[in-house]
Copies of this chain bind each other. A is one copy, B any other.
Amino acid sequence: MSQQKQLVELQQRANHLLDNLVSSRPNTAPYLKKAINYSLTQGGKRLRPLLTYATCAGLNGSLENADPAAMAIECIHTYSLIHDDLPAMDDDALRRGQPTCHIAFDEATAILAGDALQALAFEALSTNDWYPDCVLPPSTKLKQIQILAQASGMNGMVAGQSIDLSSVGKQLSLEQLENMHHCKTGALIKASIQLGALASNQVEESAWQQLGRFADAVGLAFQIQDDILDIESDTETLGKTQGADIANDKPTYPAIMGLSQAKQKAQQLTDEALAILAPLGQAAAPLKQLALLIIQRNH
């Protein structure tokens, strides 16, 4: 099977499970449920669950063991998008080509939908009978939960968003910018890969270290590419408002180092990431393809 086709199949797997994740829950608060489902199931590239699956597969693990982690990661990512788009934050009206959650529903419901998605992530990782074919030992699931909680909290993703908001209109050094992105997007991308490695149930210490370095390089390349697309792409292709960073006076890589230097750095990080994967051989082909996709994507 071609690498491209493998990725499409993994994406379909993620989308299928995401479709079921919310719709199979009880209708306790129907409007809230609708808002959660709206944000979780309307497209998105599913890069993070793909990283989880591809890492697990790259270490010869079974995809069934990676399902809860793939779901949890996408729940956390989606909640962060809903909250980042709120009027008190980035105040954005468009996401994944559709009205943002607080526009399609209302602000209170958007806050609650994000809150519920965060809880759902940890419920998916801890509820054995949602994914009965996942047979990881409890200690491994606990480690996945710890890594995800740490990556998404006050020293990870949420910290990154807080630094981002407090940086508006400020001149950041390259080091400060990297630290911000390391938290804001890098931590969750790294967690996607680490949860996938744990799901393989056979990751050795040396591979764990290598994958950590791969994750750091991919995470940073991802963010630089994001900054470049904010300048070079258009709103329709992006599915979110083009030029939002500049309009919001946010520090970006192209602003600090210039556009062509930023492109060079993204390419360099991707080369670095691919070199790290080389020892993993053919099993890592989908992961390699993903790293390339991240740098070559146009949205």
Residues of A103-124 at the interface with B, using a CB-CB cut-off of 8 Å, are 106-109, 111-112, 114-116, 118-120, 122-123
With A118-B115, A159-B28 known as contacts, the answer to whether A142 contacts B126 (CB < 8 A) is yes
Interface SS of chain A: helix
Partner of A154, one of B28, B143, B166: B28
- Residue from B33, B118, B123, B127 in contact with A119 in the complex, judged by beta carbons closer than 8 Å: B118
> Beyond A142-B138, A154-B36, is A162–B31 a contact (Cβ under 8 Å)?
yes
Interface contact A126-B145, CB-CB below 8 Å: yes
Contact for A123 among B26, B29, B146, CB less than 8 A: B146
CB distance from A180 to the nearest CB of B (A): 9
Q: B-facing mask of A22-35, CB < 8 A → 1, else 0?
A: 10011011011100
Whether A153 contacts B114 in the complex (CB less than 8 A), given A29-B159, A109-B162, A163-B29, comes out as no
Bitwise interface map of A from 1 to 41 toward B, beta carbon under 8 Å scored 1, else 0? 00000000000000000000010011011011100100000
Report how many copies the assembly holds: 2
Which stretch in A83-91, A209-217, A254-262 binds the other chain?
A: A83-91
Task: Kindly report which residue of chain B lies nearest to residue A80, judged by CB atoms.
Answer: B115
A150 interfacial by beta-carbon distance below 8 Å? yes
Q: How far is the CA of A36 from the CA of B141 in the complex (A)?
A: 27
Rounded to whole angstroms, the CA-CA distance of A33 and B161 in the bound complex is: 13
Residues in B whose Cβ lies below 8 Å from that of A154 = 22, 25, 28-29, 32-33, 36, 116, 119-120
A-B pairs with beta carbons under 8 Å apart, 21 shown? A26-B155, A28-B154, A28-B155, A28-B163, A29-B154, A29-B162, A29-B163, A89-B108, A89-B111, A109-B165, A112-B161, A114-B115, A116-B158, A119-B153, A123-B153, A126-B143, A126-B145, A127-B146, A138-B142, A141-B142, A142-B142
